[in-house]
Structure 1
Amino acid sequence: MSTIVSKEEAHKLIDQLPANATWDDLMHEIYVREAIEKGLEDSKAGRTKGVADIRKKYGLPE
């Protein structure tokens, strides 16, 4: 599910980039922002797993 982004938000994101930023830099920033927003939505909705569960899933020590 995509989040609606206002032009103002897009401009703020672009304005944060250095003057020599590339398209790849912009795409990276968009990806990171989207991932953070999705994670926050999941957290608010209770769609999370405990650290112990993740460690067990991947065979990591607790």
Structure 2
Amino acid sequence: MKKLALAAALSVAATGAFAGGMVVEPMMEPAVIVEESSGSSGGIVVPLLLLAVIAAAASS
């Protein structure tokens, strides 16, 4: 009976020693964010503005 009580006491003491344990944070992959383009209008606006600036410079 004494051996059983000693084994129980040792098992309780052993689990208490590891209660805190080493904390390992989970590795999470970064989220991938895809930005959609606003369409083809962005490619037309810049040349039109450039053409307007050149036309204004040529007229003055």
Q: TM-score range by the shorter chain?
A: under 0.3
Larger RCO (alpha carbons 8 Å, 6+ apart): 1
Q: TM-score scaled by structure 1?
A: 0.19
TM-score, normalised by the number of residues in structure 2: 0.19
Question: Based on CA coordinates, which of the two structures has the bigger radius of gyration?
Answer: 2
